[in-house]
Amino acid sequence: MLKYALIPLLPFAGFLIAGLFGKFLKEKAAYFPIAGVVVAFLLSVSAFFDVLGGTIINENLYSWISIGTLSINVGLQIDQLTSVMLLVVTTLSSLIHIYSVGYMHGDKGYARFFSYLALFTFFMLVLVMANSFLLMFVGWEGVGLCSYLLIGFWYEKKSASDAGIKAFVVNRVGDFGFLLGMLMIFVTFGTLNFSEVFKAVADPAANYNYLIFGSEISVITLIALLLFVGAMGKSAQLPLYVWLPDAMEGPTPVSALIHAATMVTAGVFMVARCAPIFSLSPTAMNVVAIVGGLTAVFAATIGLVQNDIKRVIAYSTISQLGYMFLGLGVGAFSAGIFHLTTHAFFKGLLFLASGSVIHALSGEQDMRKMGALKSKIKTTWAVFVIGTLALSGIPPFAGFFSKDEILWSAYNAHGIGPFLWFLGILGAFMTAFYSFRLIYLTFYGKSRMDHEAEHHVHESPKVMTIPLMILAFFSMFIGFLGMPIIEHGNRFSEFLAPLFPHAEHATEGASHTAELGAMLISVVIAIAGWRLAQGFYKTASVWPDKIAEKFKGVYTLLLNKYKVDEVYNYIFVDGLVHKLAKVLYTIGDVKIIDGAVNGLAQAISSTSERSRKLQTGYVQQYAFSMGLGLVVLVGLYYVLR
Amino acid sequence: MIPLSWYILLSAGLFTIGVVGVLSRRNVFIVLMSIELMLNAANINLVAFSHYLQSLTGQIFVIFVITVAAAEAAVALAIIILLARNRGSIHVDDFNIMKG
């Protein structure tokens, strides 16, 4: 099945061509990455049908590292999970490549943009197709690199290059955890290959305990937690989410592809891939679920008051990623992946549509300077509404099915389940509120645009609107792959079932009536959020200002994003890093390193200063010492004979 | 018949005088002459042993030594003349430009 190796390699070829010859190809450079990604999409479809037909591919392509007993192969694995991810990544990537032709038109970094985008697609595909932790890590770091490059794409802008660096550094914290987890796996099981590790994990002998800080922690829990730290960094969970909102400095297609649909879901994918490890550790699962649940609510609260159109969607992305982890954490792995899939489509749609709005307004991102756009950009309005309905979980749009599956699994989970369900419902209410707030501020009410900008408002070209319509189509209908209640309605979960035999089927025994009731609650909650936003923002109302005035403290706290950036800055950047740097500089560098180097030079200099006195230049003294030496040598000869 | 030990004592005495001369005198000529003294002390030794052992090798060796000494004296005198011309001195202590 070597042809599937082409899936990542074709975008890579596109990257090379656009990157190396971009200068000569000018705007034609886009064709090569687009062709590569589209063919990769077609191959992915074929791979999907192979898997559907029962063919699981797991093949080593060549031996990468072979030292002693350590042997690491570069190998591809295409199973149910990978084929779903392949479809998501290549579909979104193709559409966003095409959309970018219109969006990036006229930018002086046009070819560079497409080469980075193709490189990103390559690494993302390596990440999902890898059959070992190490190769996955290659993809993992690669997408991080591309994310950095694309956030800082407009590097002349200080804020953009800062945001790129921030993303890179915060991700490094997570990657450190992933790396440690990986080393832990290697130390414990002696291999990094997925199938071998997962086989070894099931052996009870592998499950021994470490004593850390006086408490016993099983090695499996430790590995799972370390891997999850990696996922927290990549998928922007508490407390490592801070880089994602700033990542919106990048061009909008980048926000859609990398920071909404694919890369940020890599953490979710990784946890799902490592389901055999996570399922063995209830502690780790609880941590995943709680972090996910808290992030879902936390990010949503910030999203309520933001004014930048892209930042609202960015916080919503963090919040939705929280839902995915919530699902994984309660053992509903396929529900988490299902939400990943639907979210990729509707969030990609929302970002691209907001890109279309920004494009129409010649670069304006502040919602306070929009309004009444509905009649001017009809297509964008229509797809935006579809995306928002899907995000808010209004049936029958995609988000409803996936989010509800997660919430229902949470409700039925043992222990903290109902609490998590409550967090989810709370988040759902806020999600509906801020998404419709965005719609009403942007498309309804009175126009608050500059006269200049208003004059130039125009609908985006077809090359941008057609990808939007395709995504809107998916956002409307993809949810039906995971119908609840109906017998065999949840095809998605059945498709993935062979991978998650350990998953808890807590929902199986539950009654359909209860499920319908829970569903009704979440729909009512979502509609309540919608109506509230409508009341507040459809026509200019005094209520939002009044409430903001009354709860001024809370409002400013939310507007300033809980001041988390400032706190991190204070503790880590100013406190830890600068102080540590100062200590290391004054003691480590100046005293120890410089001291050693200069001291050595000084010691040599002073020794030679003294010993050079021996060379008097007087021949007779030399002759005298020669004679003396001779006498001593001869004397020694006689004495020691 | 003079015993061998007398020759050896004479040779040792001459050699010592030569060594002391090389090490202590400051005039280059005297140093040079002291070196000749040391060479000739060795020559006396060689001739004495040649006679004692009834072998001609020692005497032939002496001829070589005298030849080398003559050549050495020629080169050394030339150097001394140059030193005197360029530096205006033949005092050993004045030549210490190789000092460290």
CA distance A483 to A338: 11
pLDDT (average), residues B44-73: 92
CA distance A137 to A125: 12
- pLDDT score for A121: 94
Dihedral (CA of A353, A357, A358, A364) sign: negative
- pLDDT score for A214: 66
Q: Do B100 and A612 touch (CB under 8 A)?
A: yes
Mean pLDDT over the full length of chain B: 90
Neighbours of B15 (CB within 10 A): 18
Tell whether the model's pLDDT for residue A209 goes beyond 60: yes
- pLDDT score for B100: 65
Find, in chain B, the residue whose alpha carbon is nearest to that of A624.
B23
Beta carbons of A167 and A243 less than 8 angstroms apart: yes
Q: Do B19 and A613 touch (CB under 8 A)?
A: no
The label of the residue with tokens 């020691």 reads A640
Most confident range, picked from A375-389, A498-512, A571-585: A375-389
Q: Do B92 and A614 touch (CB under 8 A)?
A: no
| pLDDT-based confidence at residue A539 (cuts at 50, 70, 90) | confident
Which chain A residues contact residue B22 at CB under 8 A? 620, 623
> Bigger pLDDT: A452 or A285?
A285
Tell whether the model's pLDDT for residue A167 goes beyond 70: yes
- pLDDT score for A598: 93
Find, in chain A, the residue whose alpha carbon is nearest to that of B31.
A620
User: Is A66 exposed, middle or buried, given 0-12, 13-18 or 19+ CB atoms closer than 10 A?
Assistant: exposed
CA distance A471 to A345: 6
Interface test with chain B among A615, A618, A622, by most B beta carbons within 10 Å? A618
User: Is B97 exposed, middle or buried, given 0-12, 13-18 or 19+ CB atoms closer than 10 A?
Assistant: exposed
- pLDDT score for B70: 93
For residue B14, what are its two tokens? Answer: 């001459």
| pLDDT-based confidence at residue B85 (cuts at 50, 70, 90) | very high
* Neighbouring residues of A367: CB distance < 8 A, sequence distance ≥ 6: A307, A308, A309, A312, A438, A441, A442
Tell whether the model's pLDDT for residue A107 goes beyond 90: no
- pLDDT score for B1: 75
In this complex, how many residue pairs, one in chain A and one in chain B, have their CB atoms less than 8 Å apart?
30
- pLDDT score for A607: 92
Tell whether the model's pLDDT for residue A510 goes beyond 90: no
- pLDDT score for A559: 78
User: Is A614 exposed, middle or buried, given 0-12, 13-18 or 19+ CB atoms closer than 10 A?
Assistant: exposed
Tell whether the model's pLDDT for residue A301 goes beyond 60: yes
Residue among A616, A617, A623 whose CB faces B23 most closely: A623
- pLDDT score for A59: 83
Tell whether the model's pLDDT for residue A540 goes beyond 80: no
For residue A337, what are its two tokens? Answer: 């992946």
pLDDT (average), residues A450-479: 84
Q: Do B31 and A620 touch (CB under 8 A)?
A: yes
Q: Do B95 and A619 touch (CB under 8 A)?
A: yes
Tell whether the model's pLDDT for residue A511 goes beyond 80: no
Report pLDDT digits (tens) over A485-496: 776 667 888 888
The label of the residue with tokens 């304006």 reads A364
| pLDDT-based confidence at residue A4 (cuts at 50, 70, 90) | confident
Beta carbons of A29 and A111 less than 8 angstroms apart: yes
Q: Where are the beta strands (DSSP E) in A173-320?
A: 209-212, 215-218
Q: Do B96 and A618 touch (CB under 8 A)?
A: yes
> Bigger pLDDT: A368 or A146?
A146
Tell whether the model's pLDDT for residue A505 goes beyond 60: no
| pLDDT-based confidence at residue A206 (cuts at 50, 70, 90) | low
Tell whether the model's pLDDT for residue B65 goes beyond 60: yes
CA distance A178 to B49: 91
pLDDT (average), residues A165-190: 89
Beta carbons of A127 and A136 less than 8 angstroms apart: yes
Q: Do A619 and B92 touch (CB under 8 A)?
A: yes
Which chain A residues contact residue B23 at CB under 8 A? 620, 623-624, 627
Which chain B residues contact residue A609 at CB under 8 A? none
Which chain B residues contact residue A618 at CB under 8 A? 92-93, 96
Q: Do B99 and A619 touch (CB under 8 A)?
A: no
CA A25 to chain centre: 32
Tell whether the model's pLDDT for residue A371 goes beyond 80: no
Q: Which of A183-192, A366-375, A376-385 has the lowest mean pLDDT?
A: A366-375
Tell whether the model's pLDDT for residue A506 goes beyond 60: no
Q: Do A615 and B98 touch (CB under 8 A)?
A: yes
Residue among A612, A614, A623 whose CB faces B22 most closely: A623
- pLDDT score for A546: 79
Which chain B residues contact residue A614 at CB under 8 A? 100
Which chain A residues contact residue B95 at CB under 8 A? 617, 619
Find, in chain A, the residue whose alpha carbon is nearest to that of B94.
A618
3-state secondary structure of A107: coil
The label of the residue with tokens 């890093």 reads A577
Mean pLDDT over the full length of chain A: 86
**Burial state string for A445-479 with b = 16 or more CB within 10 A and e = fewer than 16:** beeebeeebbeebebbeeebbebbebbbebbbebb
Beta carbons of A405 and A339 less than 8 angstroms apart: yes
Q: Do A618 and B97 touch (CB under 8 A)?
A: no
Residue among B19, B22, B93 whose CB faces A618 most closely: B93
3-state secondary structure of B100: coil
Which chain B residues contact residue A617 at CB under 8 A? 95-100
> Bigger pLDDT: A436 or A446?
A436
- pLDDT score for A11: 92
Which chain A residues contact residue B19 at CB under 8 A? 627
Q: Do B22 and A615 touch (CB under 8 A)?
A: no
**One-character DSSP codes across A190-206:** S--BHHHHHHHHHSGGG
pLDDT (average), residues A502-520: 70
Tell whether the model's pLDDT for residue A503 goes beyond 70: no
Tell whether the model's pLDDT for residue A602 goes beyond 80: yes
Q: Percent of chain A, pLDDT > 70?
A: 97
pLDDT (average), residues A309-336: 90
Which 3-state string (H, E, C) describes A437-488?
A: HHHHHHHCCCCCCCHHHHHHCCCCCHHHHHHHHHHHHHHHHHHHHECCCCCC
**Burial state string for A17-28 with b = 16 or more CB within 10 A and e = fewer than 16:** bbbeebeebeee
pLDDT (average), residues A544-563: 79
CA distance A455 to A447: 12
For residue A464, what are its two tokens? Answer: 């941008």
Beta bridge partners of A57: A78
pLDDT (average), residues A103-113: 87
Tell whether the model's pLDDT for residue B15 goes beyond 70: yes
